[in-house]
Amino acid sequence: MKELIIKYKEKGLKLTPQRLAILNYLDGNTSHPSAGDIYKHIKRVYPTVSFATVYNTLQVLHEKGEVMEITIDPQKKHYDPNTKAHHHIICTECNKIGDIFEDYSGAIRLPHHIAEEFKPVGNHINFYGICKKCQNLSRYVSKREKQKRRD
């Protein structure tokens, strides 16, 4: 936590208690929260905090390269404090986002005309799937439906 404070002071970020709470919440957070999720959490501790403050802080952190914005959910942006290169998978049922720390760069071949124009510096793959919780849920629903048909 102390490290975090020094780091942000070095980057010229003003550290208000609310901002500190946001940083603290994001530090090591692997749940890929949306701005709304973060706002809900911070509001519990700082009831006077506004959504704009939370959103602006996230914008600044993103500009400074401290959080990654994930845009695979068409409903809203999610934030990831892990800025090391990694890929994501999103559940198409509940929008849960998982991390994938695999290096696929050896398997990716860019088309010739792209490789001629661009020098690749990174990649980010979005996978889509159905998480375990939602798989179990749909199994439960289909079982119930079968029962209904029998009645």
Binding site for Zn ion (CB under 5 A): 80, 91, 93-94, 96, 99, 131, 134
Closest separation in Å from C-beta 116 to Zn ion: 31
Closest separation in Å from C-beta 92 to Zn ion: 8
The nearer residue to Zn ion, 31 or 50, going by C-beta atoms, is: 31
The nearer residue to Zn ion, 73 or 99, going by C-beta atoms, is: 99
- Edge-first strand order for the sheet with 87-91 is 97-100, 87-91, 126-129
The nearer residue to Zn ion, 22 or 91, going by C-beta atoms, is: 91
The nearer residue to Zn ion, 49 or 68, going by C-beta atoms, is: 68
The answer to whether 61 and 49 are in contact (CB under 8 A) is no
Q: Residues in the chain, how many?
A: 151
- The encoded tokens of residue 77 equal 């942006």
Closest separation in Å from C-beta 82 to Zn ion: 5
Closest separation in Å from C-beta 54 to Zn ion: 19
3-class SS string, 2-34:
HHHHHHHHHCCCCCCHHHHHHHHHHCCCCCCCE
